[in-house]
Amino acid sequence: MARIGTCFMSNFLSFWGKAGGAGPGDEPDKHPLAYHSLDVAAVADALLTSHPRRLLGIAQLLDTPQHAARALISGLIALHDVGKFSAAFQAKSEFAWPGELLGDRGAYAGQSLRHDELGSEMRDFLRLRTLFGGALEDWAPSARAGLWHAIAGHHGQPRVSAPVAFPRGLTSVCRQALAAFLDEVEVLFGSVPKLPELSDSQLARLSWHVAGLTTVADWIGSNREWFPYQRPERDLEAYWGYARDRAAIALRQSGLLPAPISPDISVARLMPEITALSPLQRHVAAMALPDGPSLTIIEDVTGSGKTEAAILLAGRLMTGGFANGVFFALPTMATANAMYDRLSDIYARLYADASRPSLVLAHGKRMLNDAFTDTILEIARSVDGYEDGGGAVCRAWIADDRRKVFLAEVGIGTVDQALLGVLPTRHQALRLWGLADRVLVIDEAHAYDAYMSRELETLLEFHSALGGSAIVLSATLPAVQRRNLETAFARGLGAQLGPSSETGYPLLTQVSGDGRSSQRLATRPDRARSLQVRRIASFEAAVDHVAEKAGQGAAVAWIRNAVDDVLDAADTLRHRGIEPVVLHARFAMGDRLAIEQGVRETLGRDGTPTGRRGVVVVGSQILEQSLDYDVDAMVTDLAPVDLIVQRAGRLWRHPGRTVRPLAAPELCVLAPDPTVVETRDWYRQISPRAAAVYAHHGLVWRSAKDLFERGAIVTPDGVRDLVEAVYGIENYDDVPATLIRACLDADGKRGAARSVASANLLDVWVGYGGASNIWSRDTVTPTRLGDPVTVFRLGRVENSAIVPWYPDANPARAWALSEVSLSSHKATGVPALDAAGEWQIAAAKAGWPTWEQDMPLLVLEPDGEVWRGRVERLGVSQVVGYSPVHGLGMLQVD
C-alpha cells in the first residue's frame, strides 16, 4: 500500500493523545495521538521481543510464525486509543483542541465520555476484517470483536459497547483522520498471513494475554519521562524508529527486561548453608520435569524444608524455560514479611551473577517494611548499572504500585494480591499477565476458608490456562482440598484426571498435560517424632500449667482462638506475677511489628538460653503460622486438628537447640471432654468466643476425640490419618446428636461461601470482554469473606495538637503505623467531640489524602499504664483502653 499524502497525515497528527502542560526545556504541552499510539505499540513490540516465551505462546495460539504474531498484535495495539479521534474526546482539553480541523469546541465541551468506550463503539470503522492484509478475514465477527475488546479495555476493565453507525463525536473529519491513520499503521506493520479461526478456548486465552500486554504497554508508553511530548514534525515511519529506541530505554529503566537466569540452579549455589539435603529436597533436585505447565503439591511436616524445596524447584522450572520469575503467595502480611526476610539474600542467586533482578514485597502495609523500602532504586540509579553491590533491589517504577508486583522477577506477598487477578477488579489483567510468567508458590495452602479455597482453585485454573506453573505447600492439606486444586489446574490445561487413591505422607504430587503422578517421600530424621498430647480441662488449670513450666525456666506459648481470650489469659497471668508477651491483631501496626521482631529475636534460631528462660507468649492465631519461633512448652485452645498440628510445629521447632529446661516436649490442649457431650454447648462451655470462630463443632469434636484417643501427634506417619479422621468422613454418623445442628449450619455457610465466590469470580473461558457483565464501579469484590472490620488511627495529644500514636519522621508513615483494626460488631467510629476537639481532629487529618479522610481518629489520653479513648457503634459510646504491650481492649459501656 502506498504511503498516504502529507495533507492527510498532518490532519491526524493534529489530534492530541496526551496533554499535560509544558515539560522541561522546549518540550511541548501536548503529544500527538498518532505518536502516543506508536509509543505504546513500540513498548508492546519490545515486550514481546524481549519475552520470547510469551511471544511463542501467542504465536502458538494464533497458529502463525512468531514474527507475524508480533506484527499483528503490536499493530492492533497501535489502535488502542482510536476512541481519542472522537471530537467528544478532543474537547476534553481546551488548549489542545484542534480547532483548525474541528471548528468550534462548544458543541462537545463538558461531555463526560470515556475514550475506551468510544473505541469500542468504533469497532466497525477499524476494518479489522481486512487490516494487515486480511489477517483476520477468516475469523467470525464475534472473534474479531473479542480480540478488539481486549485491546480497547486497557484502562482496567472491559468496555464492551455495541458498534454503532454513528459513534459519538466521530465527525466526517474525524473519520477521515482515523482512516488515514489506519492506512499508515498498516504500512508500518505490513501484511500478516491469514490466520485460521480460533476455538473458543484459544480465543479466550489470547484475550487475557493481549489485555494484560496492552495494559502494561500503555502504562509504560504513557510515562512522560520515557516518552516526552513531541511536536508533530516527523512522519510515522520516522517516529516509529524513534519510539522503538525509547521503548528499549523504558524497558531497561523500568526493570521489565527479564534478568538472565542462572544456568546453575543447585542447592550449593542457592542455599550454600544447607549441608545435608532432606529427602524432599533431594527428590526435587533430581526429578524429571513435565514438558509444559505443571502443578506440584508438596505435603510434608512443619520444618521439613518445603520452602527451600520450592525455591529449588522454581529455579529448575525457570532454567527449563517455563518461567522467568517467582511469586510467593502467603496467607498474612506477617508471613509475607517473614518470607521476604528469608529470601532477600537468596533470590538473586536464581539469576546470572551480573544481573540485578527486582524483589518486591506486596501487601497493603508493605511500605511500612523498612527492609523493603530501603531496596527501592530510583530510575537514576537503574539505567545501565548500579552503585551498590549486594543486597535486594526493586526498581522504583515497579515498587510504586501493588498492581505491578507481578512485573518484578521475584515477588512476595499476601495471596490476596494474586486473587485480585481473578476478580472483577481494575487492572486484574495486568496481574494475570505478570503472573503467567512466574512460578506461583502458594504457601500454607491449608490456611484458607471455603471462600478463599474456591478463589484459589480459579486462580490455578487461570494460571495453567495462561501457561503458568505453580507449587503448593502444606503440612496438613485435607485430601479433598488437594483433589480440588489438582482438578482446577488440570481444567486450565484442558486435561482430565482420573481418581487418586494415594494417601501417603509426606507426598509430592505433580499435575501436567500428561496427567497426575505422585511420589511418597521420607521425611528428615530430626522431624520424625511422637509428640505427647494431654488434655487440660479448665482455664485455671491452663494458667497453672503455664506458670509451672515458666517457673522451671521453659519458654512457653499459649495460643488462644480469640483476641479477648488472649487478653483474659494475659491479665490472669499478670496477677500471678508473670508478665507475658502479648501478640494479637488488635495492636497498632508499629507496636505489632515491634513485638513480632522481639519474639523472633528472643525465641528464634538465634535466641539465647538466658534470653528465652521463663518467657511466656500469649497470642492469637498469629502464633500459629506467622512467625518462626521455638518454645519448650505449649498450651493451645482446642481448634480443628490441622491447626493444632500447625501450632505444635512451633514446639521444639529448632533441632539445633540442644539445651532444654524440660526433658521432652508436651502439647497441652485446653478442651472439654469429647466423651461427655450432653448439650450443644459442649464447645461453648470452655470457649464461648472460639465456638463462634470455629463454628463447625463436629470437626472440632472429632479433632478432640482423635487427638486424645491417640495421645500423640506422630510425624510423619500419623499426620495424614489424623487429618483425614477429621475431614475425610462425609457423613456425621459418628458425631454426637447434640452437635449435628452446628455441623449442618457450618456446611450450609461453607456452601454459601463457595457459591458467593463462584458468583464473584471471573471465568477464564469467556475471555476478557466476555466478563464485562459482572464488572461494576459500585461494587467492591473482596478477596476474603468475614466479619467486617473498622480501621482506626490512634492519636495522642502533644503540645495541644493530635499526633500519631506511633512516632516516625515521615508523617504519612507514622499514621499508617498507628492503625489498628477492630471488629465492626464492636465499633464503627468515634463519638463527636466538642468544637475544640473536632478542630484538633480536622487539623490532624489535614495532611491525610482524600481516601483516608473517612478513617476514624481515636484520640487516646493517658490513665496510668493504659491510654483511654472512646469508640461508638450505632450511637452507643464505649470506653476502650490501649497499651503498647497489651493492645486494644473494651473496658466498659456507658
Q: Write a three-state SS string for 58-115.
A: HHHHHCCCHHHHHHHHHHHHCCCCHHHHCHHHHCCCCCCCCHHHHCCCCCCCCCCCCH
Both 707 and 802 in a single domain? no
Q: Give the pLDDT band (50/70/90) at residue 771.
A: low
* Grid cell for residue 421: 487477578
**Could you tell me if residue 632 is inside a domain?**
yes
Tell me, what's the pLDDT at 398? 59
CA atoms of 413 and 799, how far apart (whole Å):
39
What are 826-865's pLDDT values in tens digits? 999 999 989 999 999 999 999 998 889 999 999 999 998 8
Final residue belonging to a domain, choices 188, 221, 254: 221
Tell me, what's the pLDDT at 397? 58
Mean model confidence pLDDT for the chain: 89
What are 233-258's pLDDT values in tens digits? 999 999 999 999 999 999 998 888 99
Tell me, what's the pLDDT at 316? 97
Tell me, what's the pLDDT at 371? 53
Final residue belonging to a domain, choices 675, 690, 715: 715
Amino acid letter at 671? A
**Could you tell me if residue 658 is inside a domain?**
yes
Is 785 exposed, middle or buried (CB count within 10 Å of its CB: 0-12, 13-18, 19+)? middle
Half-sphere exposure of 769 (CA within 13 A, CB side): 24
Q: Which residue has the cell 515498587?
A: 399
Tell me, what's the pLDDT at 393? 52
What are 92-127's pLDDT values in tens digits? 888 889 998 888 888 787 776 787 877 787 888 889
From 39-53, 135-149, 371-385, the region with the lowest mean pLDDT: 371-385
Both 686 and 794 in a single domain? no
Collapse the DSSP code of 530 into the 3-class scheme (helix H, G, I; strand E, B; otherwise coil) and give the result.
strand
Both 706 and 805 in a single domain? no
**Could you tell me if residue 806 is inside a domain?**
yes
- 693, 562 contact by CB (below 8 A): yes
- 143, 203 contact by CB (below 8 A): yes
For residue 782, say if its preceding peptide bond is cis, omega within 30 degrees of 0.
no
* Grid cell for residue 541: 488449670
From 15-24, 442-451, 664-673, 705-714, the region with the lowest mean pLDDT: 15-24
Both 671 and 814 in a single domain? no
Q: Give the pLDDT band (50/70/90) at residue 778.
A: very low
Among 374, 312, 307, which Cα is nearest to 349's? 312
Tell me, what's the pLDDT at 664? 94
Is 233 exposed, middle or buried (CB count within 10 Å of its CB: 0-12, 13-18, 19+)? exposed
Both 82 and 216 in a single domain? yes
Q: Quick check: 380 pLDDT over 70?
A: no
- 180, 43 contact by CB (below 8 A): no
Final residue belonging to a domain, choices 221, 241, 266: 221
Tell me, what's the pLDDT at 786? 78
CA atoms of 722 and 284, how far apart (whole Å):
26
What are 522-560's pLDDT values in tens digits? 988 888 899 999 999 999 999 999 999 999 999 999 999
**Could you tell me if residue 179 is inside a domain?**
yes
**Could you tell me if residue 829 is inside a domain?**
yes
Q: Give the pLDDT band (50/70/90) at residue 455.
A: very high
Give the mean pLDDT of 213-233: 93
Non-local (6+) Cβ contacts of 767 within 8 A are 146, 149, 150, 203, 204, 207, 208
What are 322-372's pLDDT values in tens digits? 999 999 999 988 888 888 888 888 888 999 998 888 888 876 665 555 555
For residue 807, say if its preceding peptide bond is cis, omega within 30 degrees of 0.
no
**Could you tell me if residue 817 is inside a domain?**
yes
What are 61-90's pLDDT values in tens digits? 999 999 999 999 999 999 999 999 988 888
What are 255-302's pLDDT values in tens digits? 889 999 999 999 999 999 888 899 999 999 999 999 999 999 999 998
Give the mean pLDDT of 883-894: 81
CA atoms of 539 and 560, how far apart (whole Å):
11
CATH code (residue 105): 1.10.3210.30
Task: Report which of residues 563 and 658 the model is more confident about.
Answer: 563
CA atoms of 117 and 127, how far apart (whole Å):
18
Is 498 exposed, middle or buried (CB count within 10 Å of its CB: 0-12, 13-18, 19+)? exposed
Among 413, 252, 400, which Cα is nearest to 328's? 413
Both 541 and 684 in a single domain? yes
What are 719-763's pLDDT values in tens digits? 999 999 999 998 999 999 999 999 999 999 999 999 998 989 999
Both 675 and 817 in a single domain? no
- 386, 252 contact by CB (below 8 A): no
CATH code (residue 544): 3.40.50.300
* Percentage of the chain exceeding pLDDT 90: 68
Residue 201 belongs to what domain range? 6-11+56-221
Give the mean pLDDT of 676-695: 94
Both 556 and 687 in a single domain? yes
Q: Which residue has the cell 463526560?
A: 112
Both 794 and 677 in a single domain? no
Give the mean pLDDT of 516-525: 92
Q: Write a three-state SS string for 647-663.
A: HHCCECCCCCCCCCCCC
Non-local (6+) Cβ contacts of 823 within 8 A are 787, 788, 789, 790
* Grid cell for residue 165: 453507525
Torsion, Cα of 56, 61, 63, 66 (10° steps): -20
Both 699 and 813 in a single domain? no
Both 710 and 794 in a single domain? no
Is 854 exposed, middle or buried (CB count within 10 Å of its CB: 0-12, 13-18, 19+)? exposed
Non-local (6+) Cβ contacts of 812 within 8 A are 847
Domain count within the chain: 3
Q: Which residue has the cell 538466658?
A: 610
Question: What H or E segment, with its residue span, contains residue 136?
Answer: none
CA atoms of 522 and 278, how far apart (whole Å):
9
pTM over 0.75: yes
Sign of CA dihedral 585, 590, 593, 599: negative
- 893, 591 contact by CB (below 8 A): no
The CA radius of gyration of the chain, in Å to the nearest whole number, is: 30
Q: Which residue has the cell 502463525?
A: 64
Instruction: List the Cα angle 248/243/467 in 5-degree steps.
Output: 55
Catalogue the E-assigned strands of 270-313.
Answer: 295-299
Is 492 exposed, middle or buried (CB count within 10 Å of its CB: 0-12, 13-18, 19+)? buried
* Percentage of the chain exceeding pLDDT 70: 93
**Could you tell me if residue 721 is inside a domain?**
no
What are 409-434's pLDDT values in tens digits? 888 888 998 999 999 988 899 999 99
Q: How far is CA 238 from CA 17, 180, 221, 235, in A?
A: 18, 17, 17, 6
CA atoms of 720 and 716, how far apart (whole Å):
8
Both 546 and 659 in a single domain? yes
**Could you tell me if residue 696 is inside a domain?**
yes
Please state, as a whole number, how many other Cβ atoms lie within 10 Å of the Cβ of residue 781. 19
